[in-house]
Structures are given as C-alpha cells and as structure tokens.
Amino acid sequence: MKIRAATCIACTFAALALAADPKATPEEARKFVNDAEQKLLLLGVDAARADWIKSTYITDDTEAVAAKLDEKAIAATVTYAKQATRFDGLKLDAETARKLKLLKLSLTIATPADPKESEELTRIVSGMEGTYGKGKYCPSGPASCKDLEELSKVLAESRDPKILREAWIGWHAIAKPIRQDFVRYVALANKGARQLGFKDNGAMWRSKYDMAPDDFSRELDRLWEQVKPLYLSLHAYVRSRLHEKYGDAVPAGGAIPADLLGNMWAQDWDNIYPLIAPANADPGYDLTALLQKHNMDWKQMVKYGEGFFTSLGFAPLPETFWERSLFLKPKDRDVVCHASAWDIDTLNDVRLKMCIEITGEDFLTVHHELGHNFYQRAYSKLPPSFRDSANDGFHEAVGDTIALSITPEYLVRIGLLDRAPDTSKDIGLLLHKALEKIAFLPFGLVIDQWRWKVFSGEIPPEKYNQTWWQLRQKYQGIAPPDPEGAPRTEADFDPAAKYHVAANVPYMRYFLADILQFQFHRALSQAAGCTGPLNRCSIYGNKEAGAKLNAMLEMGQSRPWQDALEKIAGTRQMDATAIRDYFAPLQKWLDEQNKGKPVGW
Ligand code: X8Z
Ligand code: ZN
C-alpha cells in the first residue's frame, strides 16, 4: 500500500470547516504545514521502503512490517489533517493554503482513530494485496500451479473456449478468500474517511479533483457520452467477428463473454487483433514478433523507454534506478508482479517494479511506468506537498502519451522495423490501437462506479458479485464466461480478481488518462510540427515537445490541474475530441462494417 502514491488536490472540504480557531494566525499556519510536510516526508520514506520490500518479497513478516509503517504514516497524516482545521477560514498566502488543502486530501485510505481498528485496517489492506500477489490456480496439486502471468498468456493466445474458460475461472477463484476482509475494509475505511469529514471513502476519492465531487461525477458522465459512440461501434464490430468465430457462444446482439477477449479482465482486447484483423488493411507487423526477432532482453526494452525520454531533453535515469529496481519475476519467491513505478524518497530514488516479458504489451507498459518515473523526477524540486501529479489521471497519462509516439516510423528509426506500412494500412493500425484504448474506456469507468456504490452502502456485501456483473454488462457489454451449469454467485468475488480492487488503488485515474493522453499527444504533436494524421505523429527526438511536456510535469501539483492542462494543451477542460479525432477514420470504417448488424446489447 503506497500511502503517498495518489496525492491529490483541493476542492470543497466543507465538513471539517467547523473547528476553526479564532486565535490562529497565518504565520502559525505556514509553520504548521511546513513542519507537517517534513515530518510526513520522513514517515512516508520509511513506509515506502517497507512497502517495496513487501512487494518484492511477500511473506507474513514483510506484510506485517509494511502494515505497521503504513499505519504510522497514515495516522500521522490523519492527525495533521484534523489539526489543520484550526486554520480554516483564515486568509493565507496561496502556497500555504494549497498545502493545507492537499494535506486534507492526500490519503487514499484514512485510518480510524481507534488504534486497534487502525492497525486492523492497514493489516487487511496489506494482506489483500499479498493474497492477490501470491494467487495461483492449481488444478491438480502443487506441481500444476499457474500464476497470473501464465494464465494471462493463455487468455491472450488460446482460441479454445474450454481452455480459456478454465484459465479465467481458475484465476478468479483466488479472489474468493478476499471477500470477508474486503467487507471489513469497507467498514473501517469508511469510518476513517468519516472521521476526516467525508461522507464515505468513495466521496474522499472523488474530492481530489479541484472541483466539487458531484461536478466531478458529472464530468465523467460527459466524457463517457463523448466517447460512447466509438465504443459501441467497436464492440459491435468485434462481437460480429467473434460470433463468426465462436458461434452462438457470442450472441449476435448481446454481451460478449469476458474470457474471449484476450485479457483476464477484458480491459483491453489487442490480443485478439489477429482474429478480427481487416484482410486488406493489416499493417503487417506485430510488435511482440519484432522484439523477439531482435532478441530483445528486458534491459534493452527499458533502455528504449529511457531513450525516448532523453531524446526529448530529459536527464537519464540515475544509476540507482538500475541497481534497485525489480525487472524480472524471481523464481524463488512471491512478488507483486503488477507493474508499478516508485519514488522512494521523492527525490532521486526512483524505481520500476515489473515482471518484464518480451512482448509488445510489456514494451508499452515499460513506457507507461517510466512516464511515472520521469514525472516524479520533474517535480522532485518542489516542496514535498507538491510532489505529485496535477491529478492522478495526469500521472497515468504521461507514459501512455509517449507510447502513442511508438509509431511504425519510430520503429523504423530505432531499427526494429524495416519499412513503415503505407497509409492504406492505417485502418489496421487504428483498429489495433482501438482494441487497446477504446475497449478500455468503459472498463476504466466501471471499477470505481462499483466501488463508489460499495463505499456508499448502495451495494451491500450480499450483492457484491451480482452488481459487479450488472455494471460490467451496462458499461462494457460484457458477460461472465459461459456458465456451463455453474453461474457466478455470491460465493465468488470477481472484482478482487483485479489488482487495484484488492490493493486499494483508485481506478478512475485510468479512465481520465485514456482521455488525457490523446489531448497531450495532439498538443505535443502540434508543438513538434507534425501535420499528418495523429496516429502517425511521433514526438521522438523533438526538444520543443519535450520542453512543453516538462513545463507541465515540473508544476507537480502546485497548482490546480486545470492550470497544468492549460500549460500543455491550451485548454482547462478534459475533453474527448482528441481521442475522437485520432480514431475518426476508424469510426467511419467501423460504421460501414456494422451496416445491417446489431449495435449495443
Ligand atoms: O495498473 C496499471 C499500470 C500501473 S499504474 C500497469 N494500469 C492499469 C491496469 O493494468 O489495470 C495501466 C493501464 C490500466
Ligand atoms: Zn500507472
């Protein structure tokens, strides 16, 4: 559990505004918050080190030690946040006011005041992540065990419905034991959030976006409405191709079974590209095959990622990055393989934790993670309170923005591809990208639609699984695998088969990032002077684009995110026109293919 990972931003913080102290002075407030940020920094570094050890070596002991240090850091933050209310209503300088706001909003989990409950909550969160990290499917004894990486490979590569179904069900079984802990986690996290003045833990998460939480929810609805037509077109096309392949297992006008889309969570569908590729517009290369053909190893993959950033003018990663990161899955112990980027001391000790495999997907993920690390380095010169992204969607969008520049022309430039496909192949390229980016949109939305309702009590424990699938159906048009007489029930706990649910990581950030990265890509491509179609623009080697990106990154969260967005994209609104522009030719093509076929479910 990274307690500092998802810091956040100001907005309305009404409930705590009650305890203001008439004797408090602006000078005291300034001293208080500067003192708090230094103390919390030290506690945060200790917790981050323990979390690192736990995540790269899961044992009962490492879990317990990490939980203890997390608890210390969180409890101290909660105490400071409560004390900070004495300065409510005071006229303060802008920097102090923002620091105080951020302090109150900086947690993704608030521990309750009762020490026993506080300890219990951090132990549960640490334990749930550990259970996920250790999860394996063992169909016939210990020698038969498969971990998530192996099961994901089955989902990606097999086209045999029976095998796919077994791998899917096998993985989802690891989440069943998490359910009981999750119920308690919801109760305790809500208690902590309420003691801090929020309605519940979900409301606390929604308060981090420099606008009223309800306005934020409305923003999400607006963005989803902007992109929904694109998703519906893609869904209809994919469904009809899968119907041809799998017959009535994929109903012509209904939801698609989740195990047939190439990914354990059906969150991106690029692994089934070969099944649905257009005959006359296939770009003719596959990134995984290219990497393997060039005998790429993990280090070269990371070096290519770093090389992209240095080509933009960023300083190379420090030597300690290479010494301290975890790049490969160890054979002898359990680790949390889910990729993440760390900044242990918020200064220079940045690290990658990933179980790299030589695939196109992991090549992109390396760029995603390095985006976090270069962001962390860019804002490291700011006061501790401001060392985070403008909002959490920004943090998730940076590396993906760079990855959008991995165009065929870029691959030719770095010597991986001999010749770029001509523009007649753009539909193939766009379709492949849409399986990654458009397919993801409703998934990015649905996880926290579910969790917010869980935290608010609208979804009680006895309806956890049922409502999960209702929402998955509503937003994604996805259904559980063919039940073959064994439908999903409340004995299952499918949401926690996804890392972020088990590990208490908010998810709406990825939906925002999916939209933002296209805004960033369009703006940086313009800065780089690219006038062609957006999917062929690469900012590689362009210092103007690099400077523009850096100007935004080095602001950290010192200003509201709207200011940061304006800096890079010239607008103060998150907006889906960029992603729609990018895919406009594909949308037209999909709608032609879908003529006479059902759309929606
Ligand atoms: O969790 C991640 C990153 C780490 S921040 C690997 N992502 C989401 C996921 O895997 O579900 C990146 C895309 C969405
Ligand atoms: Zn990320």
Indicate the SS3 state at residue 439.
Answer: coil
Helix (H), strand (E) at residue 541: none
- What pLDDT, on a 0 to 100 scale, did the predictor assign at position 377? 98
| Residue in 263, 359, 364, 365 to alter for ligand 1 test, most ligand atoms within 8 A of Cβ | 365
Q: Is 340 in the pocket of ligand 1 (CB under 6 A)?
A: yes
| Residue in 396, 440, 451, 512 to alter for ligand 1 test, most ligand atoms within 8 A of Cβ | 396
- The atom number, within ligand 1, closest to the CA of 510 reads 14
Q: Is 382 in the pocket of ligand 1 (CB under 6 A)?
A: no
Q: Rounded distance, CA 456 to CA 466, Å? A: 17
What DSSP character marks residue 314?
P
Q: Rounded distance, CA 458 to CA 539, Å? A: 46
15-41 confidence digits (pLDDT tens) = 444 467 888 999 999 999 999 999 999
- 5 CA to middle of ligand 2, Å? 10
Q: Which residues contact 419 (CB under 8 A, 6 or more apart)?
A: 412
Reply yes or no on whether the pLDDT at 502 is more than 70: yes
Reply yes or no on whether the pLDDT at 6 is more than 50: no
Report the share of the chain in percent with pLDDT over 70: 97
Q: Rounded distance, CA 405 to CA 541, Å? A: 11
- What pLDDT, on a 0 to 100 scale, did the predictor assign at position 5? 41
Q: Which residues contact 436 (CB under 8 A, 6 or more apart)?
A: 268, 269, 270, 364
Q: Is 510 in the pocket of ligand 1 (CB under 6 A)?
A: yes
What DSSP character marks residue 296?
-
Nearest CA to ligand 1 atom 8: 510
pLDDT confidence bin for 10, thresholds 50/70/90: very low
Q: Look up 369 and say whether it is catalytic.
A: yes
Indicate the SS3 state at residue 351.
Answer: strand
Q: Is 152 in the pocket of ligand 1 (CB under 6 A)?
A: no
Closest ligand by atom to 510 CA:
1
pLDDT confidence bin for 7, thresholds 50/70/90: very low
Reply yes or no on whether the pLDDT at 13 is more than 50: no
| Residue 281 · residue 427 · CB < 8 Å | yes
Query: What would the mean pLDDT of 112-129 be, rounded to a whole number?
Result: 97
Q: Is 365 in the pocket of ligand 1 (CB under 6 A)?
A: yes
- What pLDDT, on a 0 to 100 scale, did the predictor assign at position 19? 61
Query: What would the mean pLDDT of 200-214 be, rounded to a whole number?
Result: 97
Closest ligand by atom to 395 CA:
2
Helix (H), strand (E) at residue 341: strand 340-343
Q: Look up 500 and say whether it is catalytic.
A: yes
- What pLDDT, on a 0 to 100 scale, did the predictor assign at position 3? 46
Q: Rounded distance, CA 394 to CA 562, Å? A: 11
Query: What would the mean pLDDT of 569-595 be, rounded to a whole number?
Result: 97
3-state secondary structure 462-519: HHHHHHHHHHHHHHHCEECCCCCCCCCCCCCCHHHHCHHHHCCCCCHHHHHHHHHHHH
Average pLDDT for the chain: 95
Q: Is 440 in the pocket of ligand 1 (CB under 6 A)?
A: no
Q: Look up 339 and say whether it is catalytic.
A: yes
Nearest CA to ligand 1 atom 7: 510
Closest ligand by atom to 337 CA:
1
pTM: 0.96
- 339 CA to middle of ligand 1, Å? 7
Q: Look up 75 and say whether it is catalytic.
A: no
137-171 confidence digits (pLDDT tens) = 999 989 999 999 999 999 999 999 999 999 999 99
Reply yes or no on whether the pLDDT at 600 is more than 50: yes
- What pLDDT, on a 0 to 100 scale, did the predictor assign at position 217? 96
Q: Which residues contact 290 (CB under 8 A, 6 or more apart)?
A: 360, 411, 416, 417
pLDDT confidence bin for 483, thresholds 50/70/90: confident
CA distances from 62 to 14, 45, 178, 227, 417 (A): 38, 16, 19, 43, 44
40-94 confidence digits (pLDDT tens) = 999 999 999 999 999 999 999 999 999 999 999 999 999 999 999 999 999 999 9
| Residue in 351, 368, 435 to alter for ligand 1 test, most ligand atoms within 8 A of Cβ | 368
- What pLDDT, on a 0 to 100 scale, did the predictor assign at position 20? 78
| Residue in 510, 514, 517 to alter for ligand 1 test, most ligand atoms within 8 A of Cβ | 510
Q: Apex CA 482: angle with CA 143 and CA 447, to 5°?
A: 85
Strand pairing of 136-137 and 478-479? Answer: unpaired
Closest ligand by atom to 364 CA:
1
Q: Look up 396 and say whether it is catalytic.
A: yes
Among the listed residues 495, 489, 505, 480, the one whose alpha carbon sits nearest the alpha carbon of residue 446: 495
**Which residue is catalytic, options 497, 500, 527, 582?**
500
pLDDT confidence bin for 108, thresholds 50/70/90: very high
166-199 confidence digits (pLDDT tens) = 999 999 999 999 999 999 999 999 999 999 999 9
Q: Rounded distance, CA 586 to CA 252, Å? A: 21
CB atoms within 10 A of CB 588: 11
Q: Rounded distance, CA 433 to CA 269, Å? A: 9
